[in-house]
Amino acid sequence: MPEPLSRRAFIGTAGAAAAAAALPGPAGAIEAPAIRRPVQNHFAAVSSGNGLRAVNRAFELVEAGTDTLDAAVEGVKIQELDPADNSVGYGGLPNEEGVVQLDASCMHGPTKRAGAVAALEGIKTPSEVARLVLKYTNHILLVGEGARRFALSYGFETENLLTPESRELWLRWRANRGTADDWLDVPESEKMTARPTGTINLNVVNAKGEISSVTTTSGLAWKIPGRAGDSPIVGAGQYTDNEVGAAGSTGRGESNIMVCGGFLTVEHMRRGMKPTDACLETLKRVVAATPPRLLDARRRPTFGLQFYAVNKRGELGAASLYPARYAAHDGREGALRDAAFLYESR
């Protein structure tokens, strides 16, 4: 019968066994493989409330193999070419001189490129022109007459963008600018159109995790000629980082520019926030940066602003200062959804 093992001998034996286990194995030994779980991406598209047709069109195109940027542009073109939508493209409401000036920008995540146009006149689809700037130049932003001539060089034709409806709305606004001018006021019984800030933003990610974004607008109605809002400003009206996600906005452009809202929302997602939470956090920054003249008695903004976001995994969301709806396609269906918001009512 073997002698009992002393405590000192036991500890020494155990230590030797542990040391032996730590030594490299014989040549050719195979270590157990590490398990890496890939991030599961899936298609998603998120847009402003007027973009239900846009997200559905983007889904159809991406499913057929179309690049995310091309799908996004084709999506927003539906609104740009729709004369019944007087906030973008053809039929957009003009500046104070009755001239329609359009803005747009886009980003393509896989190639890390961007393109934009501002104060573009006579071209119905500024999103297409912005994409041409992205694809064929080393520039990012073209403006005014230079942007128009650039578009003409690619075969676009100058057209009158005012529809009878948008012209009539402008004429009514001009007649009611002030009581001391030489224009007769429209009778109180006739409905006046509020000063809209309509825009369409669309952010798309495919199953490969490739992301693109585009924003297009006719800008603030009756604006000072030459005014550009956030839509043509990369980092404000929209922004894409192919490693993180994309975000864009609609609403009062000047307030968004002051916080670089598209970029900031993507940065919130980079830090781990879900898309909706990221949009809400950016809105809080907007409120904090708003001057007193644009706040009501309860310290709430007197304007509207919305953000829309999607991350690389295909999670999406939106948030607004006040209750609003947005369009989204999660890869199964496109639908209007209620956005998160900061304040119950304006």
* Residues noted as catalytic: 199
From the number of C-beta atoms within 10 Å of its C-beta (0-12, 13-18, 19+), residue 221 rates as: buried
Radius of gyration of the chain (CA): 27
Please choose, from the candidates 45, 49, 43, the residue with its C-alpha nearest in 3D space to the C-alpha of residue 336: 49
Token pair belonging to 339: 């956005």
- Encode 297-334: b = buried (16+ Cβ within 10 Å), e = exposed: eeebbebbbbbbbbbbebbbbbbbbbebbbbbbbbeeb
Locate 164 and state its tokens: 């009878």
Asked if residue 20 lies in contact with residue 178, where contact means CB atoms within 8 angstroms, the answer is no
Complete DSSP assignment for 194-244: P----EEEEEEE-TT--EEEEEEE--STTPPTT---STTSBTTTEEEETTT
